[in-house]
Amino acid sequence: MSNLTFGIIKPDAVAKGHTGKIIDRILSNGFKIRGMKLIHQTKKNAEGFYAVHAERPFFGELTEFMSSGPCVVLALEKEGAVKAWRDLMGATNPAEAAEGTLRKDFAGSIGENAVHGSDSDENAAIEIAYFFSKLELV
């Protein structure tokens, strides 16, 4: 089990001014931020990142949304990081997310759900490497 995971504060949350509140929640939940940057993905960047979903019906909408405005990419460290981050994010559908989760508090819909998180240690390593060089991880 790795102690690193990858997260994104998505364009909807950044546009609504929730970045600072989300970062505060990340830190207050015991995560250390090992890498962080504000980026604005191109459609091509988003398509590369979400290539695993290329055959899914929501792929076009997802990559359009993820390239629609700035987002914050994060490399996060904590014991059992993947599960801990997924627990803090909450269910994909904010209406089903538990009280106190990021999606319950900051997401507007299933599609615009404020945050992304890796679903496994393997994907966390791949996703971190997609956005961060070794030099950018502290």
The CB-side HSE value for 69 (13 A sphere, CA atoms) comes to: 11
Cβ atoms of 85 and 5 within 8 Å: the answer is yes
DSSP per residue, 20-40: HHHHHHHHHTT-EEEEEEEE-
Is residue 9 helix, strand or coil? strand
- Give residue 19's identity as a one-letter amino acid code: T
Positions marked catalytic:
116
Nearest CA-CA partner of 127 in 24, 45, 26, 65? 45
Beta bridge pairs of residue 9: 72, 115
